[in-house]
Amino acid sequence: MSAVFRELVLNWQGSEYRVKPTMALLNKIEQDVSLSVLAFKITSGNPPLTQLATVISHFLTAAGAKDAPAEEVYAEILHGDKKIVGDMAAALMLAVFPQRGKAEAPTTTGKSEKRSRAQK
């Protein structure tokens, strides 16, 4: 059986986005962030938040989110629930590294309501 990527489910500004990594998407991400270095830093408990935001932004954009620049994602990471950030980092790592067998969608549970521009 061949290795498969897991679909990732991201919640962003009140909408759910589903994206399955492709080699093209991963190559695009790696132009900005080394996924292996990011994975190492996440597992060592020291995730670089700007890099995490960049990766999440790439995934959201690939899934069709229209307003998910890395700066907005970074602000959400800084001001959001720390458990959600940890869950998101874990889900990302499950999604970007191929698995053997059935692929289940890791899910993040970000804010479910869209914040107004005045609240940002």
Give the residue extent of every domain in the chain. 3-100
User: Contact 98/5 with Cβ under 8 angstroms?
Assistant: yes
User: Radius of gyration of the chain from Cα atoms?
Assistant: 14
pLDDT recorded at residue 117? 35
Helices 49-62 and 35-43: crossing angle in degrees, nearest 10, is 120
DSSP 62-111: HTT-SS--HHHHHHHHHHS-HHHHHHHHHHHHHHHS-EES-----B----
- Gap between the Cα atoms of 61 and 67, Å rounded: 8
User: Contact 29/35 with Cβ under 8 angstroms?
Assistant: yes
Q: What is the pTM of this model?
A: 0.77
How do residues 71-95 score in pLDDT, each as one tens digit?
A: 999 998 999 888 877 787 888 888 8
